[in-house]
Structure 1
């Protein structure tokens, strides 16, 4: 346990040092406005960007299902209380993606994009807490849930922050994506390091790789939005497929929670 704590502390120190150096040495990265120019602009039933909006429904379905199964019945194999709260945060983030992303896609701009990104950071950072709880230390992992989620939220707020006072609106634009980019990438690095250094508590760990694979596929589809839209003769865009692929991550993790069990080999080694 002491070795795990040392590894975790060293990793946290390294990440903090990297963050400080990066912010000092690199220029700010503004949000490109072409990001909002999606290929599929079709309107259906009076809904602008309809397919991109409606393709968020899977997040709502799997998010609500996960929330219910986390707290009712014995469908999920969750053995630690800290895990339950971390998975709850994860499914709250997934559910909120449906609302935030739909709101953004109805009228894509920087202001609405913030509400698209906030739920995603909650989900990503919750996964880091889950790995800490399951593989390093339950108490430390549970205590890390709120700081990790707050760090993700701050990364989005740093990019764009608005203050409302009476009828006046004062908007401060930091317009700097560096912290948000780190909030997107560092969880994957942290998860990979934890997975390499510490044995899993449960079986079916391969499901994590499948979930990560679908997320990487979603990033590729997002980058090739217009190419996919043109190659499918305007049937479906890359961004729509991105939503569906990204939603497969929570689907796979939900299946994992129903199938897994305590890893007997790890129990014997502890």
Structure 2
């Protein structure tokens, strides 16, 4: 009998899907690209020129109003949005076995961001308080990148990215007291990685988290941050751009929470 060689059978990979979904071969190629991107980010964090934290200007936040004895009340209380979204998302995860990799850490990171950022904004003139702010952000960001890699590449890729970015982010947040370079690489390099993952097709079996929505809220938050004083003046001192930054960044959890909505029973659909 004539034997025809089947490369997919020999490699254990599935042939390309007629539905347009990525095949196992394509997913394995994505893992290789992911490894390459992580290597580049690691080298940049380790060997790029240092950005001394002492030479970086201390941020000046325009809304310093006191409310009920609470200093900088607008910037402090707006962090409660992180707490609300973190608790809501954590509740959505209860009893689910199909949650994306990193989702639980993402929501825990939002709660920690509320605590850390609130603590920092009570007295932002103390640079050491920034460490608490960044530690919470690092946990949330690692969780998001774990979700992104798990949704677009593979579960094992999501788990690996979650662990690596968690360690890198926490170390970068600590080192940022003296050298900001690792933190800049983690924040902006990690977001570039997230954009690349958002532009790829979801893997078979993925929950379908709209990564683009998360990124859009993050970009909007950055714009609000840059327009802190302008927005404060434009709104007649009602709200500052930095407070809106907190609200927008917290809303970045909404696309993830929406993807975790309870499934509608088949009987209810009919």
The normalised TM-score by structure 1 is 0.79
Secondary structure at the counterpart of residue 142 of structure 1: helix
Alignment match, 1:253:
256
Deviation, 1:3, is 4.2
Count the aligned residue pairs: 238
1:105 to partner: Cα distance: 0.6
Deviates more, 1:221-230 or 1:40-49: 221-230
Name the counterpart of 1:208. 211
Which SS does the other structure have where 1:258 is aligned? coil
Normalised to the residue count of structure 2, the TM-score between the two structures is 0.79
Partner of residue 267, structure 2: none
Greater fraction helix? 1
Deviation at 1:260, TM superposition (A): 7.9
Residue 35 of structure 2 corresponds to residue 12 of structure 1 = yes
The 1:246–1:18 alpha-carbon spacing in structure 2 relative to 1, beyond 3 Å, is: closer
Q: Does 1:86 align with 2:89?
A: no
Encode CA deviations 1:90-137: one digit per residue, 9 max, x unaligned.
Answer: 000011111111100111121111111111111111111112222222
Q: 2:135 aligns with which of 94, 105, 118?
A: 118
Structure number, greater radius of gyration: 2
Deviations 1:51-108 (A, max 9, x none): 1111111111110121122124x5xxx526xx3x511100000111111111001111
Match of 2:82 in 1: 59
Structure 1 residue aligned with 2:16: none
List gaps (5 residues or longer) in structure 1. Answer: 161-174, 262-270
RMSD of equivalent CA atoms: 2.4
Pick the structure with more strand per residue. 1
Q: 1: CA distance between counterparts of 2:214 and 2:263?
A: 15
Separation of aligned partners in 1, 2:217 and 2:94:
27
Q: Which residue of 2 aligns with 1:103?
A: 119
Instruction: Note the C-alpha offset of 1:29.
Output: 4.3
Shift of 1:222: 0.6
Q: Distance in 1 between matches of 2:255 and 2:182?
A: 28
Return the match for 2:185 from 182, 187, 192.
182
Q: 2:221 aligns with which of 192, 199, 218?
A: 218
Q: Is the 8 A contact 2:92 2:261 kept in 1?
A: no
CA distance in structure 1 between the partners assigned to 2:37 and 2:102 by the alignment: 24
How big is the shift at 1:211?
Answer: 2.3
Shift in alpha-carbon separation, 1:190–1:104, aligned structure 2, 3 A: same
